[in-house]
Structure 1
Amino acid sequence: MHSSSFNPLFDQAIDRNQSNSIKWKKYQGQDILPMWVADSDFKVPSAITDALQHHVEHGVFGYGQAPDSLSALIVERMAQRYDWQIEPEWIVYLPGLVCGLNLAVRSVTDDDQGVLCPTPIYPPFRSSAKLAKRPLTTLPVTLSDEKRWLMALEDTRVAPNSRLLLFCNPLNPGGTVYRRNELEAVADFAQRHDLVVCSDEIHCDLILDPSCHHIPFASLNDDAAQRSITLIAPSKTFNIAGLGASMAIIPNPALRRAFLHAKAGIVPDVNVLAYTAAEAAYADGQAWLDQQLAYLRRNKQRLEAEINALPYLTLHPIEGTYLAWIDASALPVSSPFKFFEQAGVGVSPGADFGDSHFVRLNFACRYELLEEALRRIDIAVKRLR
């Protein structure tokens, strides 16, 4: 890498081995690069650490509540970035996005009512239905003519007792950023079958294709809004997932009451430091985010070019997220996941998402580490020929 392209914010090697990082602890002591779970290796914006240090110096960590200033920032952010007008009272704060998926299932469906979700998909989608013992129908995610991963709706037979559609945009895995007409097709489908849509939009700030723009499902029209639960968080955007600050935005008062009722007494409140970090991120993190997006775009271009130049592997264009969904179905091996691991690259097994022929690789890391991962993959693949 040329020194002229060095970015001190993102090229800095930060040792995460002693930080109780799930990502790095998994392969500690082994020569395997951790590129699996979806957190980045980047140091957060200084505005976040400054705000946290200020709170820590205060020295009191009693029960907290969501600051009105944070809710105001979220309202402003949704309006300015996504042309979505929301009200502060629609926001329900959560200590993580996964509990939001589980609360959606438990608050929207009764014991005999079904859940629909795309597959392959982020594993907690399927487990949220399973844990609540709800019948699950999967909607296959297929490759469109334009080589984009989209949820197939037209051939789906929906059981009459289906009540909830779990949706993901940008799509994890696959990286698709849904266009307006594609979202309208989802909304029509939901209206036709009278479904509530829980839309996981946690990666909405991480749009890597400059021609794409994130559109919140609930912003389409009033019908979409009234049947929606939208899940967002600053956690992936600003690498603060370990602090646990997420939000459900629920315009429909009856849906919101049911959601709050399912949450009561089980899901804890957000901790005070998480509120502090979220507010600092949304208030002062934009300049850092712009640089991170430029850095991730560079990583993405390098990854797409290198993977697609190799035999056996295919990577279709990633529009959003920092997660590559690599098609390894042509690899002459029994387990693509184990093949990558043996090559010294720790990825997420596609089987966890619903397709064992794929692996998911997290490229939110310094460029030098990505280059080393690609070098290892290149050697391992060429050895098979």
Structure 2
Amino acid sequence: MRMDLNSVYQRLNTGSKKWSQYPEDVLPMWVADMDFPVAEPIMQALKNRLEHPLLGYSVAQDTLRQTLVTHLAHHYDWHILPEDLVFLPGVEPGVNMALNTLAPSGSGVLVQTPNYSPLLNAPANWKLPRVDLPFHADANGEYPTDIAALQSALLSVRSLLLSNPHNPLGKVFEREELRAIGDACVQHDVLIVSDEIHADILFDGRRHIPIASLSREIAARCVTLMSASKAWNIAGLKTAFAVVQNPELRERFNAGRLGLVDSVNALGLEATQAAYRLGAPWLAQVNAYLQDNRDYLAHAIKTRLPGIRMHLPQSTYLAWLDCTALDIEHPQQFFLTQAKVALSDGLEFGDDCGHFVRLNFGCPRPMLEEALARMERSLLQR
């Protein structure tokens, strides 16, 4: 059954973080939370579970483990065992568990920049020095990994935080690029913590490649973090999973819970099972809609918002907008106050990103159209 993705649902006063952060006259286009209704199979699974009157501590059942094993094999040609899965209340706790437990004390952590702020900030949580490896756009507007610079940077670190697909660039890593990154980490004995939460949102026929799927040697030093939360819009159910194929690494990773990362939400486990088992038709419709939104956004920026540049995202529903040519000191604040549109501040993604903003186009088209109209008027009136 196809859903009407053009309908704008009222989310004010529902406890939505996205819609509570700013005054009611501000259109929120910031946090990675889509404004689409959840897939019917997920809603039905939650209703079925709530017919049972007990909601105690929960564990992942064998059926969920097998569903994920099957999904990873079918979609990514990645063959894991059920016991390789570790269930968590979120990807961010998994990143921090990995660094706290697996990274040697005081060792460096390499992060490609710009990057998602929880990844940027995670090393400091455990007093680990962060080493930045900047992306630079090439002549085609792509953001390739500088493998020579990576090799050099790996000499001074023991861990790599990878965002794959990349947030905020919307970059999908090519197989050869990922293989070069993984092989370099094997060569330098570097742990890979890979945030792959956006794995199921890809455009133009692309296919996600988990870095751990490339070789046994790479997998042996990988903690891969995934979730249905972004693709199926169920982030509020606080459920994710790690894939750790190295048993010794997995045991140490699990020891990092330390009373902070407890059991997983009972309803989140049900929703995750339904998403990966029954949610493919809904996701296909949403991905097609998101690609159309991306293309509409790209055309609008080119024709109506002179001074802003956008590299076409290959994945995610997040657009990284370069506002340098606008000559506005703080573009996020400008659009917030003058257009009443809330975007994510580029400074959240890197210290040299103050002239960038990130726009969430995971929303009904009327909402995206209104945001762009407001931004256009604000630039015409300044």
Q: TM-score range by the shorter chain?
A: over 0.9
What does residue 310 of structure 2 align with? 315
What does residue 382 of structure 1 align with? 380
1:132-151 equivalence runs, <5 A: 132-151=126-145
Q: TM-score, normalised by structure 2?
A: 0.95
What does residue 370 of structure 2 align with? 372
What does residue 204 of structure 1 align with? 199
Whether 1:166 aligns to 2:164 is no
Q: Deviations over 1:189-234 (max 9, x none)?
A: 2123211111111101000222x21111001111111111111000
Counterpart contact for 1:139–1:153, Cα < 8 Å: no
Partners of 1:17 and 1:362 in 2: how far apart? 18
Partners of 1:360 and 1:149 in 2: how far apart? 16
Query: Which aligned segments of 4 or more residues in structure 1 are displaced greater than 2 angstroms?
Result: 149-153, 155-161, 381-384
Q: Deviations over 1:88-141 (max 9, x none)?
A: 111000001100111111122122211111111000112110111101101112
Partners of 2:67 and 2:142 in 1: how far apart? 33
Whether 1:359 aligns to 2:357 is yes
What does residue 17 of structure 1 align with? 12
Specify the code of the residue in structure 1 equivalent to 2:377.
I
Partners of 2:4 and 2:163 in 1: how far apart? 30
1:295-334 equivalence runs, <5 A: 295-309=289-303, 310-334=305-329
Q: Deviations over 1:130-164 (max 9, x none)?
A: 11110110111221333122333422433655211
Partners of 2:333 and 2:259 in 1: how far apart? 41
From 49, 58, 73, the equivalent of 2:43 is 49
Q: Deviations over 1:68-106 (max 9, x none)?
A: 111101000000000000111110000011001111111
Identity of aligned residues (%): 40
Gaps of 5+ in 1: 1-6
Partners of 2:5 and 2:227 in 1: how far apart? 21
Partners of 2:73 and 2:95 in 1: how far apart? 24
From 18, 26, 30, the equivalent of 1:32 is 26
Specify the code of the residue in structure 2 equivalent to 1:99.
P
What does residue 334 of structure 2 align with? 339
What does residue 292 of structure 1 align with? 286
- Tell me how far 1:8 sits from its aligned partner: 4.4
Partners of 1:202 and 1:159 in 2: how far apart? 24
- Tell me how far 1:27 sits from its aligned partner: 1.8
**RMSD, matched Cα:** 1.3
Counterpart contact for 2:154–2:188, Cα < 8 Å: no
Counterpart contact for 2:166–2:172, Cα < 8 Å: yes
From 49, 69, 74, the equivalent of 1:80 is 74
Whether 1:179 aligns to 2:174 is yes
1:94-243 equivalence runs, <5 A: 94-156=88-150, 157-158=152-153, 160=155, 162-210=157-205, 212-243=206-237
Partners of 2:59 and 2:321 in 1: how far apart? 42
Specify the code of the residue in structure 1 equivalent to 2:367.
L
Partners of 1:193 and 1:359 in 2: how far apart? 35
Counterpart contact for 1:162–1:195, Cα < 8 Å: yes
Partners of 1:155 and 1:208 in 2: how far apart? 29
Q: TM-score, normalised by structure 1?
A: 0.95
Specify the code of the residue in structure 1 equivalent to 2:341.
V
Q: Secondary structure at the residue paired with 1:186?
A: helix
Partners of 1:151 and 1:360 in 2: how far apart? 21
From 245, 248, 252, the equivalent of 1:254 is 248
- Tell me how far 1:307 sits from its aligned partner: 1.0
Partners of 2:93 and 2:332 in 1: how far apart? 27
What does residue 59 of structure 2 align with? 65
Partners of 1:151 and 1:241 in 2: how far apart? 29
Counterpart contact for 2:170–2:318, Cα < 8 Å: yes
Partners of 2:124 and 2:74 in 1: how far apart? 37
Partners of 1:82 and 1:220 in 2: how far apart? 10
What does residue 270 of structure 2 align with? 276
Q: Count residues in correspondence.
A: 376
Partners of 1:109 and 1:352 in 2: how far apart? 24
Partners of 2:233 and 2:154 in 1: how far apart? 39
Greater alpha carbon shift after TM alignment, 306-315 vs 166-175: 306-315
